[in-house]
Structure 1
Amino acid sequence: MQTANELQLLLTPYDDREPVLKDGLPSSAAARADATDRKDIALEHFWDETGDPDDLEEQRWGVIAPEGAAGDRLIALIQPLIDARREAQGGHEVMIYRVPSAMPPDEAARWRKQHFDVSAEVARDLPRYQLILGDLHEVPLALQQHQATDGFVGRLCFREERAYEAYVDKVLRWERARAEAAGSARFFTVHDGTVATAIGHRALAQPAIAQLGRYKLEVADLGDQGEPSVDAFLEVVKRPEPTVLFSISHGAGAPRGGWKTDGDQRGLQGAMCFGRDKLSGGDLGDSPFLPGGIWFMLACYGAGTPDVSAYWHWLERLKQNREFGGQTEAVLAGLPRGGQRPFIARLPQVVLANPNGPLAVIGHVDLAWTYSFEERDTGKALSRPSKFVEVVRTAVETSRVGSSFRELLKASILTNVELTSVYDQAERQRAAPDPARLGHLWMLRQDLTGFVLLGDPAVRLPAMRRRLKKDAASKAEPGVGVGVHEIRSTAALAAATPGIAAEGLAEDAPKLPPDMNMDIDDLERAIGKLLSGSPLKAVASEHGIEPKQLSALKEIYRKAGRAALGVK
C-alpha cells in the first residue's frame, strides 16, 4: 500500500529487513535540493552520431588504466581481449590511456582535455568504446561518468588477477559461439512488501514489459508475489539461454550498528536483499548465473560505493529544516570514512568473473531512488520507464551493451540541460526559480547519473533476435522486410525480394549451411563493412562467418544490388 510519502529509497540495512527510510520522504523534500549542486555537463561530440554505433572499426575501442606497475599488470591480463578488439576494428591500433591513481574526482574534465582529446585532428580515431581497468580509487568514478557523456564506457574490477583472465576468456568464447535461441528479457521484482519495490513493479516493471511486448520480444515478469525467495531467483539465473535480466530490489547497506571491518563492507554492501535473506558475492560459486547474459540490477550500492554521496548535503538540509525525521548517518552509513576507499561491489565482480556468468552488469553507485523511472518535476508522479525499455530492447536485439547503456545516459544529459535552462531563465528574469521543480530535476539527474556499466562495453548478447527461415517468400508478413525471416539459400533471397533481378543468384550459388542461424541484418552489416573496404578476416571473425563463405555472399549481394539498380 503506497503511503503519502512518495520519495522512496531502495536501501535496507544488512542485518534487517526494514528499509532505512521505511516511510520514505515527502515529495516536498525535493525542493530543498535546489542550491545543493549545479553541475553543468559539457556536451562534446567527437563521433559521427549518424554512424553505426555497433561498428567497432567506425567507433574504435580503447583502454583506460592506472599509471604505474598496477596498470601495466592489468593491461597484460586483458591482452587477448585487446588483440581481438584490434582485429575487430580492422587492425587499427588500440589506444591505451593512463590515469594517475591520485587524481582528484574534479580533475576528470581536465584530464580529458589534456590526455584524451588532445587534438581535433585525431578526433575520428578516438575510441568511443572505452574499457576502464581498476577500482574506484585507481580510476575515479567521476572520470567514468565524464567519459560516458558521449562515449560507451565500461569498467572491469576484480580482487584476483585470475578473474580478469576468466572474464576475457568468457567474452571471447561467447563471441566465437553462435547462440541457438533468440534473445529474451526477464524482469524479476523482489516483492518484499515495501513501498519502494511496489512502486518499482507498478511504475517500471509492468509498463516496461507491456512496451517490450509491442516489439514482439520474448519477455516475462518473474518474482514470487508471496514470500521473496533467493532460491527462486537462482533458478531464474540458471537458465542456459542468454538473457537480459532486470532485477528490482533493495540493496544492502550498513548494519544498524555499522560495519565492523572494511572487509565486511566490501564483501557485503550492495548485496541483493530478499527480505531477511541477502544474496552476496560470497554466496555464489561457479554455478550458472545468467550465462552469456546481461544483468541490470536496480538497487542501492548494487554496482559500488562512492567516496562521497551526491545526496549528503541535501539530506543534511532536510534534517536542519526538520523535514527528515531520521538520522542522516543512518542513510549514509555505508559511505567510506576516514581514508577508506570507494569500491566496486563484490556481487557484480563475482558474477562477471564466473565462466558461466553474464558478460556485463549495469548497476547503481550511490543511493538508488525511484526517481529514475517515476519523474515528479511536472507536479505529479509520472511513470517514465521508456529510458529503461530502450536499454533492454536494444540489448536483446544484440546491440553492443555500451551502445544500449547510452540510452539511459541520454536521459541524464537531457535532464541536465533542462535543469541548466531553468537556472538560466531565472537569472535572466532576476527571479527565484521554482524550488520544487529544481529539486525534482536535480534528484532525477543525480539518480540517473549514478548508473554505471561494469564489463567490456563492446560485448553483446550472444543470441539471435531475428532468425532466418527456410522459405521466406511463402511466409513473408505484409509490410515486414526480409530481415525478420530465415533465409537458407540465395534463391530464397531473390524470391523474398520482388523487383530485384536474379542475375548472379543461381540455384547452385553458395548457401548458408543448414545449421547456421545467421541473422540477415547481421549479414548485411558484415557485407557492408567489406564493401567499404574493411579486411575480410577481421569482419568474418567479428560476425562468426567463414571468410571464404562471407566473400562469396558479398559477391552475390553486390550483383543483386547492381541488378536492382539496372547496372552491371
Structure 2
Amino acid sequence: MALHPLDQISAIPAALRKRLAEEYWITSVEELIATARSSNAQYGSGLAALALALGMSEANLRALVEFVRQQSPPEALSFSVPVSIEHGSGLVLGDYRNPDAAAFSIPTSLPAEVPPLGDLPPPGDQGVRNTCVAFALAASFQVVSQAPTPLSEQFLYWACKEVDGVPGDHGTLPLVAFEVLRETGICLAETWPYAPSPRDHDNPGHGPPPPEAQSEAPLRRVERFHPLPPNNINVLKDVIAKGWPILVGLDIREHWEDSWQATHLGRLRPALPGERDRGGHALCLLGYRNDPSAPGGGYFIARNSWGATWANGNSDGPGLCHVPYRLMHSNGLLALALERVRVATPPPRPPDASVGKAGQAAQAAPDLAQLYAEAKELHTRMGLLVERLAGLLDPSAAPRPNPAPAALPDQAERTSAPSRPAASGAAQALKRGASGPLVLLSGAQGSAGEQLYPNGLMPEGKPLLQIDAATAARLAQGKAGQESREHQSLYRNKAYYATNHFAGTIAEVDPSWVETARWAVVINATEPASLLKAIWPLIEHRMRQMGHATPKVDFREGETAGAWYQRHTNAGSLTLQRKDWGRVPPVLIYTPGERAGSWLARHKVGQGPVDPARGVPYYLLLLGRPGPLHDQDQAYIPLSFQYDLDFFWAVGRLCFSDELGQHRLVDYTTYAERLVGFEQLGDAAAAARLRPEVAYVGTRHDMDMATERSADELVRPLAEWSSTADALPQQRGIGHQLLLGATATRNNFERLLSGGSDGRPPAILFTACHGLGLPLNHTDLLMHQGSLVMADWSGIGNVSRDHWFAAEDLGNLSGGPKLEGSFVCLFACYGAGCPDYDEFIFDASMERPRIAPFPLIAQLPQQLLLNGALGVLGHVERAWTYSFSSTEGARAQTQGFEDIIGRLLQGRPLGDATDQFNTLQGQRAMMLTEELNNIKFNKQVEPLELAQLWVARNDARNYIVLGDPAARLPYERPERLLT
C-alpha cells in the first residue's frame, strides 16, 4: 500500500524522524498517527508513551501529530471502528536453554532476500485457545514436505497436552511438540478439523481424536530438527536461505493487537514504554528481506496464527508479519529449525487366501481408504497448479517464486527436505478471498489529500476501508462503475422529474396521504404465508385507512405466500388496479430473481411518477430478509431491488430475524400491533406521548477525522439549525437536545432511550457515530454488526464491549426503552444492515471480499422497531462523509437531513419524507455516467474527481427505511389540496 513518508513532512526534524524509524520503525504519517492512537496499559495512550520514549512533552508531541494529520486530510471519511478481539498465544518455555551462538559458523554469503517459503495458503486462526506452537510447527511441516495440504493443529495440540505436563489450556513446550511430531505424527486437517474455541482447561486438547486421525497420524513425522540461537540474525538467515522454516518465540506486546501498524501492516516493532506483555507466542519464520528502513537493516517474514484478517494489509500476504532484525536480536526467546520430515504411504495388505468373496470385499476397504487419501492430496496439488497457471496467464500479476514441485511417492516411504529458494522481489500479496477491512491503494505516491476514508471501525480501532483516488478512479472506469441501460434510464428519469419539481406521485395524488397514495405489502412467493398472517393487523388497519373493508381471508398450514395470493386473487386475475381496488388484499408478489424494472413491468407499470391506480401503490412495505441464507435459499427480496424501487416509490422493509437469519414471527406481530395502536390514538393523543424535540447524538473521538467531521459539520450545524427562528422545528414548537463529543456516552444515551426526565421519547432521534464493523470470523458479528460506538471509547486503542451500544442493551435499560412513536436516524456504518459480500468494491481481477455469512438487517434497528419506534433510516454498508459534503469540496451540507427532519415534523410519512436521498443518488449516478462517457471521447479527468463521484454515488444509494414507509409522526400535515 502507498504510505505517506514522514520525510515529506518538513516540520518534523530530521533527527526525530531518524529516531522514530530506527527505534520504532515509524516511517510514515499513517504509522505515527496509529501509534499515537494505540492503547498503553501503563501510560494510557501510545501518544503519552511515545512522548516519554522520545523525551518530549505529551503536549508538544500531540501538536506535532495534529499538524501531521492536518497535512494529510482525507477527502472522504467512513464511520466504523477497531474492536478488541481476544487472540490466543501458548508458548511455554519451561527450562529450555538456547544453544551457544559461538557453536554456529558465520555464513559468508547470503542473498539479500528470501521470499516466503512453501507457497502456503493464508494462515488459520487459533482463536482463543493457546495453540500457537501447534500452528507454527504444522506450517513448518507443510513447507518442508512441499505439500501445502492443511494439517491438523487440533491433533498435534491434543497429542502435546497428553504428555507435556502443563496444566489446563495454557499452551505447550516447543520441544515436546517436535518430539510428539517425531514419535506420533500428525493427520490431515480434514480428518480432525481445528476448533478455535472453547478454551477448556479440563480438556485442553478437545480429545479424544477420532480413530482415523490416530491411524493416519504416523504417516507424517519429523525426522530432523535442531535448535538455533534466536538472537543470531545471520544464523537464522542462513537456515532460511537453505529452505528450512524456523519456529521462533517472541513476547506478545500490546501493539500487536492494538496498533494499526501491526493489525493491518503486520509490522512488529520494539515495544513502547508501558506496553502490556501478554507472554510468549510462537511464529513460523518463512523468509527475510534486507531493508535499510527497518530496525537492524531488515526483517524476517513470519507466519502468525491469528487468521487472515489480522495483518491483512501485509505486503507478503494476509496473516503474515514482519519482524525487524533488531527485535529478533534483542527479544527472541527461542528458535527451532525443521530440516527433514517423512511422509509415508502404507503398502497394500496382501489378500488372505483363506477368505471368501465377503472377506475379499472387506479386505478392499483399507485399500480404498488409502486411494482416497492419495486422491485428496493429488486434488490439493492440482488446485495449486491451476492457481499457478492462472497467475502465469494474468499479465498483471507480479512474479512469485515457487518451490521445486514435490515428487509423487513411488515407494512405501519418502523423505522430504526443501530445496534452496531463489532470491527475488517482494512476494505478491494474497488478495483473493480476503475478508475484513479493505485497503485499496494504488502504490503510486499521490497527494495525501487523495486518500478516501469511510466512517466505520473494526474491533481494533482501525478504519473499515482505505482507498485512494487512483484506485477508486480505476474501479469507477472498470466493472464497478458500469451502469446498465436500465439504471441509466432510471437515473435520467429521476433527475428529470426532480429538476422539474415533480413529487414521487402524479399531480392528482398527494403523497402525504395514504388514503390517495395507497399502500401494499410486497412478499417473496416462496415465503410462508404465516409471514402475512403475522402482520395482518397492520394490513387490516391500512385497508380501513384507504376506505374499504377487509376481504375475507384465511391462512393454511404450510402454505406459501404465492399459493395464498393465487387463492385470494382468483389465480392472479384480480389486481390492485382501479377496477379491482378494494376487492383483494393489498399484497403484491415478488418472484425470485426479479429486478425492480422487470417486477414493475409484470405489473404493467414503468419507472416514473407513481399513479397508484395502475396497480402498484406508492407506499410499499417489503417483507422478509435482504438476501439468501444459503445457495439454495430463494425466500428473500434483495437490497438492490429495494434501492431501485425506492427511486420513485416510497419503500420500507420489515425484517425481524434471529442469529441464524430465521424469521421471528412474533416480532412482526408485535411491531404491527404497536404501530396500529399508536396511530389509533389519534394525532393529539399520540403527540402527547412524545417529547416535542429532536435529540442529536454525535461522538467526537480524539485524533479521529471521521467523527471530528461528523460532529463539526453535521451534528452541530443541525442543532444550530434547529434553534434558528425561521427553521421548521422552531415554527412547529419543537426543541432539541444535544449530546455531542464527551457527553455522547453510553450512560447518557441509555438515559435518553429510557425516556429522560419525563419518561417520553424524543420525536426524532438522530445519531452520528462510528458503526461497529466486526470481522467475518467474529462470533458476535450477526448480533452486533452496526452497533453504535459511544464516547466511552476515547479514540485510543481498541474498542471493547463496554464502548458500544448494541441491540441487546435495549433490554437492560432501567424501566425499559421508551421509544413508542419516535423516528430514528442512524448515521453509521452498517447502521441498517450488511450485505454478505462487499458492495463497495468489485474488480474483475479480485474476488469481492465476504464480510458476513449472509445479507442481514442489523439487530439494533430491529430492536428499536420492536420497542416502539415507527421507523429507522440507516445505511447498509459503509457510511461516508459525502452524505454531508459535496464532491466539489463544499462541507457541512446538511440540507438533505434538514429536509428529512422538517418533512417528518410536518407529519409526512417516512417513505415520502426521505425521498431526497433518492434524488441525490440519481444525480450523482448521472454525473458519474457522464464523466465515464466523456473519458471515452478522450476527456482528461483527474483521478480524485472521478473517485469522489464514484464513492459519493455508492454512499447515496445505500440509505434504506426500515419499518412501514406509511407511518408518520403525529403532527399536523399540510392541507390535502389534491384528491
TM-score (norm 2): 0.42
User: What is the deviation of 1:383?
Assistant: 2.7
Residue 370 of structure 1 pairs with residue 881 of structure 2: yes
Are residues 1:304 and 2:857 paired? Answer: no
Which secondary structure does the structure 2 equivalent of 1:139 belong to? coil
Change in 2 beyond 3 A, CA 1:412/1:50: farther
Root-mean-square deviation (CA, aligned residues, Å) is 3.0
In the alignment, the residues of structure 1 paired with residue 891 and residue 931 of structure 2 have an alpha-carbon distance, to the nearest angstrom, of 20
Instruction: State whether structure 2 residue 481 is matched by structure 1 residue 37.
Output: yes
Q: Spell out the pairing of 1:81-480 with structure 2 (5 A cutoff).
A: 81-91=538-548, 92-93=581-582, 94-101=585-592, 103=593, 107-115=595-603, 117=605, 124-137=614-627, 138-159=636-657, 160-177=664-681, 178=685, 179-180=687-688, 183-193=692-702, 194-214=704-724, 215-217=727-729, 218-220=734-736, 222-226=738-742, 228-239=744-755, 240-255=760-775, 258-261=776-779, 264-274=780-790, 275=793, 276=799, 277-285=803-811, 287-313=816-842, 335-336=851-852, 340-354=853-867, 357-376=868-887, 378=888, 380-427=889-936, 429-462=937-970, 464=971
Q: Distance in 2 between matches of 1:197 and 1:232?
A: 18
Q: What are the superposed Cα offsets for residues 207-246 of structure 1, whole Å, 9 maximum, x if unpaired?
A: 2233343315134352253275211111112221441111
Matches within 5 A, 1:463-502: 464=971
* Within-5 A mapping of 1:5-84: 5-6=73-74, 7-15=76-84, 19-21=461-463, 30-35=472-477, 36-39=480-483, 40-43=487-490, 47-48=505-506, 51-68=509-526, 70-84=527-541
1:354-411 CA-to-partner distances (Å, cap 9, x unmatched) read: 2xx31101111111121221223x2x35332111111111112211111111122221
- Alignment size in residue pairs: 442
Kindly provide the amino acid, as one letter, of the partner of residue 156 in structure 1.
L
Q: Is the 8 A contact 2:694 2:764 kept in 1?
A: yes
**Secondary structure of residue in 1 paired with 2:78:** coil
Other structure's SS at 2:481 match: coil
**8 Å contact from structure 2 (residues 694, 737) kept in 1:** no
Contact 2:699 2:742 in 1 (8 A): no
Report the secondary structure of 2:625's partner residue.
coil
CA apart distance, 1:188:
0.4
CA distance in 2, matches of 1:50, 1:29: 47
Question: What is the CA deviation profile of residues 499-544 of structure 1, one whole-angstrom value per residue up to 9, with x for unaligned ones?
Answer: xxxxxxxxxxxxxxxxxxxx5x56x54xx68xx5xxxxxxxxxxxx
How far apart are 1:30 and its partner, in Å? Answer: 4.3
Gaps of 5+ in 1: 321-327, 465-518, 533-568
Flag the 1:196–1:260 CA change in 2: closer, same or farther, 3 A: closer
Contact 1:11/1:250 (8 A) holds in 2: yes
Q: Structure 1 stretch 23-32 or stretch 303-312: which is displaced more?
A: 23-32
Listed one character per residue, the Cα deviations across residues 264-292 of structure 1 (whole Å, up to 9, x for unaligned) are 32111111112231111122228124321
Residue 256 of structure 2 aligns with which residue? none
State the shift of 1:125 in Å.
4.0
* Larger Rg, first or second structure (1 or 2): 2
Look up the SS of the partner of 1:10 in the other structure: strand
Relative to its length, the structure with more helix (as a share) is 1
- Specify whether residues 28 and 430 from structure 1 end up closer, same or farther in structure 2 by C-alpha distance, changes over 3 A only: closer
User: How many Å apart are 1:424 and its aligned residue?
Assistant: 3.6
Q: Is the 8 A contact 1:303 1:362 kept in 2?
A: yes
Please identify runs of 4+ aligned residues in structure 1 that moved more than 4 A.
Answer: 22-30, 118-123
Q: Confirm or deny: 8 A CA contact 1:203 1:383 kept in the other structure.
A: yes
Give secondary structure in 1 for the equivalent of 2:915: helix
| 1:468 aligned residue | none
Secondary structure of the 2:869 match is: coil
Q: Alignment identity in percent?
A: 26
C-alpha contact (below 8 Å) 1:8/1:25 kept by paired residues = no
Q: Aligned-pair distance for 1:49?
A: 5.0
- For structure 2, list consecutive stretches of 5 or more residues without a partner in the other structure: 1-65, 85-457, 495-503, 549-580, 628-635, 658-663, 794-798
Q: Are residues 118 and 398 of structure 1, via their aligned partners in 2, closer, same or farther at CA, if it must alter by over 3 Å?
A: closer
Q: Which amino acid aligns with 1:365?
A: V
Output the CA distance in 2 between the equivalents of 1:241 and 1:364. Answer: 23
* Residue pair 1:131, 1:153 contacting (<8 A) in 2 also: yes
CA contact (8 A) 2:505 2:611 kept: no
Per the TM alignment, residue 416 of structure 1 is displaced from its structure 2 partner at its CA by 1.6
**Are the counterparts in 2 of residues 33 and 438 from structure 1 also a CA contact under 8 Å?**
no
C-alpha displacement of 1:259: 2.5
Separation of aligned partners in 2, 1:383 and 1:403:
24
Q: Do 1:63 and 1:133's aligned partners in 2 also have CA atoms closer than 8 Å?
A: yes
Q: Distance in 2 between matches of 1:242 and 1:185?
A: 6
Tell me, yes or no, if the aligned pair for 1:183 and 1:396 is still in contact at 8 Å: no
- Does structure 1 conserve the Cα–Cα contact (< 8 Å) formed by 2:761 and 2:818? no
Structure 1 counterpart of 2:808, one-letter code: G
Compared CA separation, residues 408 and 437, structure 1 to 2 (3 A): same
Give the CA deviation at 1:425: 4.1
Alignment of 1:533-544 (within 5 A): none
